[in-house]
A and B are shown apart, each in its own frame.
Chain A
Amino acid sequence: MTQISPDAITDCLRTVLDREVAADTDIFTAGVDSLAVLRCRALLKERTGVRVPGHVFFEGRTPVRIADLIGAEHAGR
């Protein structure tokens, strides 16, 4: 499985930030920094086995867009 759902991402963000995050929330205006991305990425890896490159979070900015980009990155390989 190389697809990750927006829900999987919002779940991880919720755990890391300890607050609600919607699928269309801009995570960087919601207080996510590099360390939060690091923790979220580790959780995603633990839960899905997929290691998401850091730039996907910064380019996507919202869980929906991030999930799209992950799909695109894998489709492109």
Chain B
Amino acid sequence: MLVVEDSPLYSPEFFADDDPWAYLAGLREHDPVSLHRRDDGYEFYALTRYADVYAAYVDHRRLSSAYGTMIDGSYLPQKDSASGRMLIVSDQPEHTAIRKPIKTSGFSRDMLGRVGQTVRRNIRGALDSLSVGDRLDFSKVIAPELPKGVLEVLFGIGAEDARHLLDATRTMIGYRDEAYAGSRPLDALVDAQLDVLEFIDDLIVKRSTTGPAEDMIGFLAQCVAEGAMPRDVAVLNGLNVAVGGNETTPHTASLTVHTIDQEREQWRKVASGEVGPDVATQEFLRWTSTNSYVQRLTVEDFEVGGHTIPANSFVALWNMSANRDAEVFDAPDSFRIDRTENKQIAFGAGVHRCVGAPVATLEIQTFIEELADWDKAFAVVDPPRRLHSNFMLGLTELEVEVVDAKELGT
């Protein structure tokens, strides 16, 4: 098996300034299962083929989520302090016990309808406020509008509070990037994390006395008030949902605008109605693969791709690589807006598949629909700046100019 010392997969700079897609394509082709080491002793096995990534996702018994889903999330095999209490870092049976109340209160069909309306209102309002000739950083001005509407509905808060929460979670996840965290990244990370916890804790205390509620935080607060859920569990999962929702779809939206700018011909098919926005959404999700990987820990030996990964090893499941696997996708390195056979794995698979996937998909599809109906368009005027992160593929700067849609023929 290939062993890579000082692997570039650890490096946020490699993801911002180099070509991780090409590097992962090389691994997928020649060394689909490989071991990546860093000089401080940290190591993980990288899975790069769709079939192997999928097999690892669905084997949640042998591959634990309890040791942190990010490389460096917990140092050396040690359980995350929130494991068993927070959805993303819990194994069965706690995982299902936590997922159920979140799913029914936050991501039911009824909630999806309400979220969709709020997200559409926000996006439309933001687009309508722009005039031809305006220049703006899309990633900062428009992209956060997507999760903002979700937060408003799920947390039962106003737009201003939602924006505050968005800023704090952005610092938490992007703490390695100066654009978000300034010059003392670790301080910024822990301060932002505490601010988010404090905000949610206050909200839960406040909402536990207001009676039955129709939003997720109100429901969790009721569970706490009735003694069905510890307050810490409610707070941690509020954090989980806020981070999971805030730090993904704005990046997907920015990358979508950038892709449209590069693939204007294909975008015309959506604007003209030739290709449905639902089909296009799936291809944007595959193409952008915002969450590049998740990490697991083997609790016993795990056989995959002809290799045996020993127990007690970190394994990284590279979504972004699986989404470019020629075994599963025709012309995987081409963006095809009308791709119909699209089994993109951007949200993972199995019991841990992103609980917010229906909402995220709805946000992106709503965004695409509103863009297609808009009489204007975004033209990218400067090379975008990529987020310094190996975990989230996104843009911290996307300078665009608002142009007349007719001028671009869309």
A59 to chain B, nearest CB (A): 8
Does B299 touch A at the CB level, under 8 Å? no
The contact sample of 13 A-B pairs, CB cut-off 8 A, is: A33-B81, A34-B193, A35-B232, A37-B194, A53-B191, A54-B191, A54-B193, A54-B194, A54-B195, A55-B186, A55-B187, A55-B190, A55-B191
Inter-chain contact A35/B187, CB cutoff 8 Å? no
Given contacts A33-B82, A53-B191, 18 further A-B contacts (CB under 8 A): A33-B81, A34-B190, A34-B193, A34-B197, A35-B235, A37-B194, A38-B201, A41-B194, A42-B198, A53-B187, A54-B190, A54-B193, A54-B194, A54-B195, A55-B190, A55-B191, A57-B190, A58-B190
What chain B residues lie within 8 Å of A35 (beta carbons)? 197, 232, 235-236
Q: Which of A18-77 contact B (CB under 8 A)?
A: 33-35, 37-38, 41-42, 53-55, 57-59
Please tell me if the beta carbons of B197 and A38 are within 8 angstroms of each other in the complex: yes
Number of interface residues of A (CB under 8 A): 13
Shortest CB-to-CB span from A31 to chain B, Å, is 9
CA of A33 to CA of B194 in the docked complex: distance in angstroms? 11
A26 to chain B, nearest CB (A): 15
CB proximity of B229 to chain A, nearest CB, Å: 14
Q: Which residues from A are CB-within-8-Å of B235?
A: 35
**B177-210 to A contact mask, C-beta < 8 Å, 1/0:** 0000000101110110111011001000000000
- With A and B bound together, what is the CA distance between A37 and B198 in angstroms? 10
Give the chain A neighbours of B197 by CB distance below 8 A. 34-35, 38
Residues in B with CB closer than 8 Å to A53 are 187, 191
Assembly CA distance A30 to B195 (angstroms): 23
Name the A residues within 8 Å of B198 (CB-CB): 38, 42
A43 CB → nearest B CB, Å: 13
| CB closest residue in chain B, given A55 | B187
Residue of A nearest to B81 (CB): A33
Q: Which residues of B contact A (CB under 8 A)?
A: 81-82, 184, 186-188, 190-191, 193-195, 197-198, 201, 232, 235-236
Scoring A33, A35, A42 by chain B CB atoms within 10 A of each residue's CB, the highest score goes to A35
Q: Which residue of the partner chain A has the closest CB to B201?
A: A38
Kindly list chain A residues whose C-beta atoms are within 8 Å of the C-beta of B82.
33
Task: Please give me the residue from chain B that is nearest to A59 by CB atom.
Answer: B187
Q: Which residue of A lies closest to B192 (CB)?
A: A54
Complex Cα distance A59/B190, Å? 10
Question: A34 with B81: in contact, given A54-B190, A54-B191, A55-B187 (CB under 8 Å)?
Answer: yes
CB distance from B154 to the nearest CB of A (A): 21
Interchain nearest-CB distance for B184 vs A (Å): 8
A33 CB contacts on chain B under 8 angstroms: 81-82
Which residues of B lie under 8 Å from residue A59 when comparing CB positions? 187
Residues from chain A with Cβ under 8 Å of B186 in the complex? 55, 58
Residues of B within 8 A of A58 (CB): 186, 190
Chain A nearest CB from B168 CB (Å) reads: 11
* Bound-state Cα–Cα, A35 to B204, Å: 14
Q: Which residue of A lies closest to B198 (CB)?
A: A38
Chain A residues in 8 Å Cβ range of B188: 55
Give the Cβ gap from A6 to chain B, nearest Cβ, in Å. 21
Tell which of B186, B194, B232, B235 has the most Cβ of chain A within 10 Å: B194
Nearest first, the 10 A-B pairs at minimum CB distance are: A54-B194, A55-B187, A33-B81, A54-B190, A54-B191, A55-B190, A38-B197, A58-B190, A35-B232, A55-B191
A47 CB to closest chain B CB (Å) equals: 17
Residue of A with least CB distance to B195: A54
Chain B residue at minimum C-beta to C-beta distance from A28: B81
**How far apart sit A58 and B187, CA to CA, in the bound complex (Å)?**
8
**Which residue on chain A has the smallest CB distance to residue B197?**
A38
What's the Cα separation between A73 and B186 when bound, in Å?
Answer: 17
Tell me the complex Cα distance, A35–B230, Å: 12
